[in-house]
């Protein structure tokens, strides 16, 4: 094991609150690069992707300590520059950075972005990807600005904490807005599946009849932002992949969700169906699911098959709102 200290969620994710000192020669990886493009030992390397449950944040790795960083770069510009800047910050002098991305997902921008940090870049193209290699410059440029622009930040217009890369990071999703606008007075114990910034839970917790809500998301940044946004003693927060139902919470009175239908940039309807199955597993008999979905997504048949009663409460601006009772 290449770390002197192992921390699990939530303490590891409190960006820069605590520092982890990798052992000399340690390697970090961000995401899951194809081995044929950038060989990395996924068993030995320190995983730093916010989308991998229990991974350490890149931001928690001490300055100038790593021998090598491999970044399967995310498509959003602010998010990608943030990851590259942290990778360079955490590299020891002379350490190697490899960054790669698909040509249609930011790959052509990688070399220029690394050059803007003062790197001398060798670029290659393979399997629809651009692959850039460089050493850490003696004095990298502009890291602080990229880290500030891509880090956790309060958005005054929304009154919310957020971070580039989180779903709908700088606006309320129009589907979620439909769910929020519909009157509802949930009661008892519930869960917010795929909580994102926590906007659905903020609405749910406005009901004094709610005694507890567990907010769950696979994205560590979303869970951290939701924790800051919700600020309610009735709320609990978990980073978890909901394709596998957690053992807890269970016997719930209600579940609220705006399920995802993209995985890694491609449409994946099975993801939303897995969320429905997880909701069913968590609810008690008679418990209620409220969910919003794009009108183009056919949830009717799976809801009818899994629940005793299903109502469509609204259809507004391309979204449908369902209430289903187990």
Ligand X SMILES: C[S@@+](CC[C@H](N)C(=O)[O-])C[C@H]1O[C@@H](n2cnc3c(N)ncnc32)[C@H](O)[C@@H]1O
59 part of the interface to ligand X, by CB under 6 A = no
Euclidean distance between CA atoms 161 and 243, whole angstroms: 26
Comparing CB distances to ligand X, the nearer of 89 and 220 is 220
Comparing CB distances to ligand X, the nearer of 32 and 168 is 168
Q: How far is the CB of 230 from ligand X (least distance, A)?
A: 12
List 234, 236, 243, 269, residue binding ligand X (CB under 6 A): 243
Helix (H, G, I), strand (E, B) or coil at 308: coil
DSSP state of 14: S
Where in 152-211 is the site for ligand X (CB under 6 A)? 167-168, 173, 176, 194-197, 199-200
Mark residues 206-235: x for contact with ligand X by CB under 6 A, - for none. Answer: -----------xxx--x-------------
Q: How far is the CB of 1 from ligand X (least distance, A)?
A: 26
CB atoms within 10 A of CB 94: 9
Q: How far is the CB of 258 from ligand X (least distance, A)?
A: 4
Q: How far is the CB of 64 from ligand X (least distance, A)?
A: 31
For ligand X (CB under 6 A), the number of binding residues is 20
Name which of 110, 107, 115, 113 is nearest 137 in CA terms. 115
Structure tokens at 247: 């053992």
CA atoms within 13 A on the CB side of 115: 8
Q: How far is the CB of 55 from ligand X (least distance, A)?
A: 14
Comparing CB distances to ligand X, the nearer of 20 and 201 is 201
Q: How far is the CB of 119 from ligand X (least distance, A)?
A: 30
DSSP for 22-72 reads: BPTT-EEEES---TTTS---TTTSEE--TTSTTPPPGGGBPTT-EEEEEEE
Q: How far is the CB of 128 from ligand X (least distance, A)?
A: 24
Mark residues 116-155: x for contact with ligand X by CB under 6 A, - for none. Answer: ----------------------------------------
Q: Do residues 64 and 84 lie in contact, with contact meaning Cβ atoms separated by under 8 Å?
A: no
314 forms beta bridges with 321
Comparing CB distances to ligand X, the nearer of 114 and 178 is 178
CB atoms within 10 A of CB 322: 20
Q: Do residues 238 and 215 lie in contact, with contact meaning Cβ atoms separated by under 8 Å?
A: yes
Q: How far is the CB of 325 from ligand X (least distance, A)?
A: 21
Q: Do residues 237 and 227 lie in contact, with contact meaning Cβ atoms separated by under 8 Å?
A: yes
Where in 257-316 is the site for ligand X (CB under 6 A)? 258, 260, 271
Number of H-type helices and E-type strands within the chain: 8, 17
Dihedral over alpha carbons 205, 208, 209, 210 (to 10 degrees) = 30
Interacting residues with ligand X (CB under 6 A): 167-168, 173, 176, 194-197, 199-200, 217-219, 222, 241-243, 258, 260, 271
């Amino acid at each position: 094991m290449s770390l002197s200290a192992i921390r699990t969620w939530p303490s590891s994710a409190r960006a820069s609150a605590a520092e982890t000192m990798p052992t000399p020669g340690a390697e970090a990886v961000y995401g899951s690069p194809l081995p044929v493009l950038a060989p990395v030992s996924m068993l030995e390397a320190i995983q730093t992707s916010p989308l991998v449950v229990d991974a350490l944040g890149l931001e928690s790795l001490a300055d100038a300590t790593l021998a090598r960083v491999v970044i399967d770069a995310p498509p959003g510009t602010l998010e990608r520059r943030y990851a590259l800047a942290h990778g360079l910050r955490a590299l020891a002098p002379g350490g190697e950075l490899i960054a790669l991305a698909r040509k249609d997902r930011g790959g052509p921008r990688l070399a220029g972005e690394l050059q803007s940090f003062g790197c001398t870049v060798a670029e290659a193209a393979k399997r629809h990807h651009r692959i850039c290699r460089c050493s850490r410059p003696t004095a990298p440029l502009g890291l602080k600005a990229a880290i500030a622009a891509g880090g956790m930040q309060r958005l005054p217009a929304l009154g919310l904490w957020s971070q580039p890369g989180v779903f709908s990071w700088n606006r309320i999703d129009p589907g979620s807005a439909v769910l929020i606008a519909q009157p509802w007075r949930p009661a008892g114990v519930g869960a917010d599946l795929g909580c994102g910034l926590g906007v659905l839970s903020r609405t749910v917790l406005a009901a004094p009849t709610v005694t507890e809500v567990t907010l769950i998301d696979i994205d560590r940044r979303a869970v951290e932002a939701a924790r800051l946004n919700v600020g309610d003693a009735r709320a609990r927060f978990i980073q978890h992949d909901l394709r596998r139902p957690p053992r807890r919470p269970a016997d719930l009175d209600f579940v609220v969700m705006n399920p995802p239908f993209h995985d890694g940039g491609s449409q994946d309807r099975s993801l939303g169906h897995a969320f429905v199955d997880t909701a069913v597993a968590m609810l008690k008999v008679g418990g209620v699911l409220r969910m919003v979905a794009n009108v183009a997504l056919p949830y009717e048949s799976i809801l009818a098959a899994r629940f005793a009663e299903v109502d469509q409460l609204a259809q507004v601006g391309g979204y449908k709102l369902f209430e289903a009772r187990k």
